[in-house]
Amino acid sequence: MTPEEEVLLRTDREFNTATQARGGEGWAAYFAPQGVMLRSTGHLIGPDAIRAAMTPVFATPGFSLTWEPSRAELSAGGRLGYTTGRYLRRTRDASGGVVEARGTYMNFWEKQPDGSWKVAADAGDPDEAPRPPSAG
């Protein structure tokens, strides 16, 4: 692994730490100006839109999202890269029980003019496909 790939892994871990400490604000702070959060319900573009959508989610009692990168790779030009790893999302169901969802994520990163790395696109894939609501 190259030193710059190590930097990218460390940055992704810092992204996780900032999110744990500051919720939606910490999450949004790591997105590039035109960074995209890919969602099945519609994509969010830019830190302001991401912050507005995600701050209430991270503030929900019982909600948490943690992850650990396992791989980083850079483009030949060194201005783009990706990290991938595993995530764990915890929520509470209607009865207050903890519901865990695990999956794989991939963050695409772009190097900023100041040399920092910011998320250009964030995507995750749960281990289990979402189940449609049962017809009652």
pLDDT in tens, 34-85: 999 998 888 999 999 999 999 999 999 999 999 999 999 999 999 999 999 9
Query: Alpha helices of the chain — where are they, by DSSP H?
Result: 3-28, 47-59
5, amino acid identity: E
pLDDT at 135 over 60: no
Task: Please provide the CATH number assigned to the domain covering 3-123.
Answer: 3.10.450.50
- Sign for the CA dihedral angle at 83, 68, 11, 57 comes to positive
- Sign for the CA dihedral angle at 11, 67, 107, 35 comes to negative
Q: Which pLDDT value is given to residue 42?
A: 86
Q: Where are the domains of the chain?
A: 3-123
